[in-house]
């Protein structure tokens, strides 16, 4: 079930929606915010283990910034949620909920290349 999260100003036009399970756990340490305003709650450790891109990105953070007062790091990405759902299911070794649509193949391949996610 998706949950709508209003932005700080309370405006509903830019509200975000929490992704469906298993990417809706509020106790994770990283949020992927997609171009269509869906938020995926993920574990930094899992993403870094699967993607050298993210491992390098987080290795550049200082220990002080990792332990900042903000408990969850938010990363804005340019891809839509349908692509990130597939990428994260590959990363987490989860089966896809449905067969992939033909028109999603190339965008998925491009995103996997961009973020160095094998699969």
Structural domains in the chain, CATH included, are 3-114 (3.30.710.10)
How many degrees, rounded to 5, is the angle at CA 10 between CA 6 and CA 15? 30
User: Residue 4: its pLDDT value, please?
Assistant: 47
Residue 39 predicted with pLDDT over 60: yes
Q: Distance between CA 77 and CA 111 in Å, rounded? A: 10
User: Residue 68: its pLDDT value, please?
Assistant: 54
Residue 117 predicted with pLDDT over 90: yes
Mean pLDDT score across all residues of the chain = 85
Q: Which residue has the higher pLDDT, 9 or 13?
A: 13
User: Residue 61: its pLDDT value, please?
Assistant: 67
Residues 6+ apart with CB under 8 A from 7: 14, 15, 16
């Amino acid at each position: 079930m998706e949950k709508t999260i209003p932005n700080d100003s309370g405006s509903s036009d830019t509200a975000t929606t929490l992704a469906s399970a298993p990417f809706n756990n509020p106790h994770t340490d990283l949020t992927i915010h997609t171009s269509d305003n869906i938020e995926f709650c993920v574990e930094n450790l899992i993403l870094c283990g699967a993607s050298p891109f993210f491992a390098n990105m987080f290795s550049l953070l200082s220990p002080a910034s990792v332990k900042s007062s903000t408990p969850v790091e938010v990363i804005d990405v340019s891809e839509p949620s349908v692509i990130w759902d597939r990428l994260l299911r590959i990363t987490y070794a989860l089966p896809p909920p449905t067969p992939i649509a033909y028109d999603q193949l190339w965008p998925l391949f491009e995103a996997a290349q961009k973020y160095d996610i094998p699969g």
